Structure 1
Amino acid sequence: MRIAIYHNLPSGGAKRALQELVKGLGPRHHVDVFTLSSADHGFADLRPYVNGHQVMDFQPLPLFRSPWGRLNQLMRMADLLRLQQLTRRLAQTLEQGDYDVAFVQPCQFEVSPSLLSRLQTVPTVYFCQEPLRRVYEPMPARPYNQPRNSWRRRLDRLDPLPGLYHLLLKQADRHNVRQADRVLVNSHFVRRAVDRIYGVEAHVSYLGVDVRQFRPLGLAREKMVLSVGSLTPLKGFDFLIRSLARLPAADRPRLAIASNFQNPPERDYLHQLAAELDVELALLGNVSDQRLVELYNQAQVTVYAPVREPFGLVALESMACGTPVIAVREGGTQETVLHDQTGLLVRRDEREFAEALARLLSNPAQAREYGQAGREHVVRHWSWSRAVSTLEGHLEMAIQSRLQPLGAPQPLHESR
C-alpha cells in the first residue's frame, strides 16, 4: 500500500504508539508522513522509518497576557481557521500523490483533524485515541482554576468567548470524525464513547508494547512506587497522593511521577498537597525511554489512577518490565490489567487503593508473582507485530470500502 500519515502530535503516548506502528508498516509499504512544525519530531522520531517526511509550517498564534487574557479564545478560533486552510492545501497534495489510504492521527489543536473532511478521493482511517474530553466530560476541579474574587466570577459568567470557542471546536470535531471512512480506537471503552458522542461505529485496534525495550532488568527494588503520565488533572495524581497518605508513615513509600509534560499550576498543586499530607513526592521531567524502563524496574509497584483513561499504555509497560500494577477500575485499564493475576483493580476510593497498596508492599512474593505473570501476559498478547497486523487489515478494508458498490456487504474483521 501507499500510505500517507498525517499527525500534529506532541510528545507522549500517542506519538510513541505511532512510531511503533510506522516501524511495522515501513518495511512492507510505502509510507510518507505529513506533519506540522508545531508537532514534536524529536520524540519518538518517525523519520528513520518512512520514505518521505514533509513538515508544513504552523505555529499557534501568541496568546495575550492579563488583563487581556479573555481575548485568547479569539486567537484559538483563528488557529482553527488557519488549520482548516492548511489542511485544504494538504488534501490537494495527497490527492495528487496516488495514495491508497490516509492514516490520520489526532491533532493537538483540532483533536480530529479537518483533513478528514477535506479528502475526497483518498480513503481515510482516523485513529481516535480519545474523544474531545474537555468538551464532552466534566473536568476535575482544581483550586487554581477558581476565580479569586466575585467580579471575576461575574465576568466568567458573562463572557461569551469561551462558550463560542468550545461550540466551534465541538462542531468541527463531530463533523470531522463522521467524515472518516473508518474510525479506529484503542479500547472497547473508547469504542462505546465514540458511539455515544459521535454516533459512529468504531473498530478496536489495540496498541502494543516493545517487550525488547520494556523488560525486566534485575534491578533492586527501592522503597518507591511509580506513576507515569502528563501532569494534568485527568491523570489523578492527587488521588494517589491522598491514598498514600493513608498508609502508616513508617511504611509509606516515595511516590515518583515521570512526566514529559508538566502543567505548572498542577505541578505546584501536587507539591503543596504532598507537603500537607507528608507524602514524599518526586516529579521527574524529560525522562528518557531508558530511564523510564529503569524506573519501572526499581519501583515496588506501579500505581495508576487516571480519570476514565482511554487505554492505559503505562500499565502494559509496567507489566512488560515485570512490575505489578495497582489501578483504578475505570476505562481502558480494565482491558489491560488482569485483576489478581497481573495486579489489582480497585474502585476510585482512597481507602481501598491504600489497602491494595499495603497488601502488595507487605507481600513481596505475591508482587513478584504478579510481575512475572504480567510479563508473560504482555509478551503473549500485546506485541506490536499483532497491533500492526490488525492495523493493516483496517487500512485494507477502508480501501475496499471505496471500491465496493454502494450497499455491498463488507467483511468483518476482529481486532484481536
Structure 2
Amino acid sequence: VDAAVALKSQGCSVQIWTAHHDPTHCFSETLDPDLHVVCVGDWLPTSVCGYLHALCAYIRMIYVALYLVFLSGVDYDVIFCDQVSVCIPALRLSRRRKKVLFYCHFPDQLLTQRKSALKKLYRAPIDWLEERTTGMADMILVNSQFTAGVFRETFGSLSRVRTDVLYPSLNTAAFDQSSAEAHGLQGLLPEKTSHVFLSLNRYERKKNLGLALKALAVLRCSLPSAKRAAVHLVVAGGYDERVTENVQHYIELKELAEQLHLEDCVTFLRSPSDSLKVALLRVSTAVLYTPSREHFGIVPVEAMYCSCPVIAVNSGGPLESVVDGETGFLCEPTADSFSKAMERLIGEPQLCRDMGQAGRRRVQEKFSLQAFSDQLYEYIIRLSQ
C-alpha cells in the first residue's frame, strides 16, 4: 500500500490487484477513491479444513496474475509484486512482456515450522517454487540489510543475484492527520495510570507477545507498591477472526495475563483504529517490540515518529531502525532485560523525552515516505526504460 501511495505521489498511474480486500478491515489508504483497488479470486479458499494455507495463497495469487494478464485488458509498464513470488511466471506470460519488480520482505519458507515429516513433504515443493520464481523477477528489492543476508543464505541458487535495500516507509502525513484526541483513550486506561507501555503487533505466536507480559510482571516486582498501579500495558494488534492463530493466540495471552496476575494492569485491543493507535503511541512511555529476527518491522518506526522510545529485541530489523541508547534500547529477548529498560524510562523522564525527540528526527531523515518514494520511483524508471 505504501508503495502504491508513494508512486502516485510521483505522478504514476497505479492500481492495486489483490485476492482479498475488505473495506471494513483494511488499510485506510485503500479506501481513497483515487487509489484503484481491484479484487479478484476472493471466492477461492484461504485454507482447506484449516490446513494448506500456503498452497491456497499461491493458487489465489496465480489466479490474480492470470486474470490481470489475460482478462483485465489493463495496460501497464511495470508490475510491483509484493511478498508472494509464485505469480511471477504467470505475469511473464503477457504477449507484451513487461518488467517485474519483486519486493521481498522475508523468505516465506522461514516463517513456518516443520515439526512432522508430512509438513516437510508438503513444504518441499512450495519452498523450491518460492526460490525458483523469486529468481525470475527482473529486479529484487529487500526491506533491510538483515533480510538481504538471510536472502542469500536461504536461496543458495540466488546468492549472486543483486538485491537492493529499500527500507519500508512511514506515511507521516497519515500520522499527522490522525486524531489523537483524549476521548479516544477515555475509559481505556485506569485513572491512576501515568506510565503506559504499548505492544503493537499482530496476534501471532512468532511475535513473542508473551515477553511483554512477562517483562511487566518482573517490573512490578521491582517497583515499590505505591508505583505499581501507575504502570499499565496495552497489547494491541491486528486480529482477523478468519485466522485461526489470531483467535487462539489472543486467548493464550489472556490466559497468560491471568497466570501472572496482571488482569488489572493489561488491556488487550484487537485491530485498533489508526487514530487510536496514534493516540496510544503519543501517550506511551515506550513501545515494547518483542519479535526476534524480525525482517524489518515498521512498528519501531511508527513509534519513533510519534516521539515514543522503543524497547526492542537486539536482532533483525531493529538493529537498523533503532539506535541503542539514543532512540530506545536494544535488549536480549528476556523479561529481565526488557523490565530493566522499562524501569529506567520510568525513573528518568528527561531521558524518555530526549529519546522521543531523537527518534522522530531519525524517521524524518531516513524512513519518510518521500525518501521511500524517491528511491522506488528511480527503480521503476530504470525498469520501464
Query: Shorter-chain TM-score: which interval?
Result: 0.7 to 0.9
Structure 2 unaligned runs (5+)? 186-192, 241-245
Letter in 2 for 1:58: D
| TM-score, normalising length: structure 2 | 0.81
Q: Helix, strand or coil for the counterpart of 1:247?
A: helix
Say whether 1:125 aligns with 2:101: yes
Task: Give the SS at the match of 2:194.
Answer: coil
Residue correspondence of structure 1 range 13-412 to structure 2 within 5 A: 18=1, 20-41=2-23, 43-44=26-27, 45-46=29-30, 48=32, 50=34, 52-61=36-45, 72-73=51-52, 77=55, 80-81=58-59, 83-92=61-70, 97-106=74-83, 111-120=84-93, 121-132=97-108, 135-136=109-110, 160=118, 162-198=119-155, 199=158, 200-214=161-175, 222-249=194-221, 250=225, 251-252=227-228, 253-261=231-239, 263-279=246-262, 280-400=265-385
Q: In the TM superposition, what is the alpha-carbon distance from 1:381 to its structure 2 partner?
A: 2.4
Residues 28-81 of structure 1 deviation map (CA, whole Å, 9 limit, x = unaligned): 44424242342445522436365754322333427565xxx6xx44x8646644
1:100 CA drift (Å): 1.9
Counterpart amino acid of residue 59 in structure 1: W
How far apart, in 2, do the equivalents of 1:51 and 1:305 lie? 33
TM-superposed deviation, 1:304: 0.7
State whether residues 256 and 283 of structure 1, in contact with CA within 8 Å, keep that contact through their aligned partners in structure 2.
Answer: yes
Secondary structure in structure 2 of the residue aligned to 1:254: strand
Residue 321 (structure 1) shift: 0.9
SS at match of 1:398: helix
- How many pairs were matched up? 352
Structure-2 separation of matches of 1:222 and 1:139? 40
TM-score (norm 1): 0.76
Are the aligned partners of 1:229 and 1:235 in contact in 2 as well (CA < 8 Å)? yes
What is the alpha-carbon distance in structure 2 between the residues aligned to residue 362 and residue 350 of structure 1?
18
Percent identical residues: 24
Asked if 1 retains the 8 angstrom alpha-carbon contact of 2:181 and 2:279, the reply is no
Unaligned runs of 5+ residues in structure 1 are 1-17, 141-155, 401-416
SS at match of 1:195: helix
Aligned to 1:146: none
Q: Structure 1 residues 82, 241: closer, same or farther in 2, change over 3 A?
A: closer
Distance 1:241 1:53, change over 3 A: closer
Task: Kindly provide the amino acid, as one letter, of the partner of residue 184 in structure 1.
Answer: L
